Structure 1
């Protein structure tokens, strides 16, 4: 799907994007167990599942050479969440695809960190890895993430919206929106 290697670390104006360390497990588990952070997911994530996610993220980097980064504030050194790229391989009309995603601790919302980190992830996707298109998706009700997708320059066609396959029918979070950004559009905007 994607060739090449992503930089192991990426610096933005205010953030350091880097590999997860064992020291990140506790703050990552705290944000994953926060009901507000996990409002648009079926349930908060307990410590064991959070640690398993860290392990999968690390394995993804080892296997593919790209993936999700821990997001660290450059001014405080605090790990505040994650951003990056992941393969979307579940059964949907647009998969397989490369997804850009993010999740930040509530105390760091509203400061533009998600957009800043995701833009760096898109730069890696299009400029370093040669990805042709990146997608992002979320529950229809997740207005905060949808606003980030729009700030990133991603576009939504309502015909692409889909029911998330692992969420049961009738669940209010099952309806998802899909946003897309292709490499040609990215280049035009950079140019």
Structure 2
């Protein structure tokens, strides 16, 4: 399904889509992450796994270890807003088998504008075109 950790090709650390800038999360994104944690609309989709409050540091660690992880997502034409959400690929396991996972979390003020779809298409292109994955999994809360 996916090559071992040590064989991941270099992933561009900064990626652009028509409307978004996708980059590894930074410590400065903690404010956006805190806003996500406090947003009741986002909390209802919490799917388990690592506590949401631990995920930002986990994602930063994935980028350091694997050179791959969820991006901080910002609007290209409004960079002063900072991150409006997070999403992308990470390695994980489903039923004990290695898997490439797709996830996203956006501030609810930015829902309904196609940003999650735009980021997800960039992540899927990365998975299938650059990483040569045979599948990508996403877990959804019931």
TM (norm. structure 1) is: 0.64
> How does 1:153-168 map onto structure 2 within 5 Å?
none
CA distance in 2, matches of 1:58, 1:112: 25
**Unpaired runs of 5+ in structure 1?**
141-191
Count of residues paired in the alignment = 134
Q: What are the equivalent positions in structure 2 for 1:13-162 lying under 5 Å apart?
A: 13-41=18-46, 50=53, 52-77=54-79, 78=81, 79-90=83-94, 92=95, 95-140=97-142
Say which one has the larger Rg.
1
Query: What's the Cα RMSD here?
Result: 2.1
1:168 aligns with none
- Structure 2 distance, partners of 1:133, 1:25, is 31
1:23 shift after superposition: 1.5
Question: Aligned-pair distance for 1:138?
Answer: 0.3
Greater RCO between the two (CA within 8 Å, min separation 6)?
A: 2
Asked whether the 8 Å contact 2:17–2:118 carries over to 1, the reply is yes
Show structure 1 runs of 4+ deviating over 3 A. Answer: none
CA contact (8 A) 2:20 2:76 kept: yes
Q: Name structure 2 gaps, 5 residues minimum.
A: none
Cα separation, 2, equivalents of 1:53 and 1:101: 12
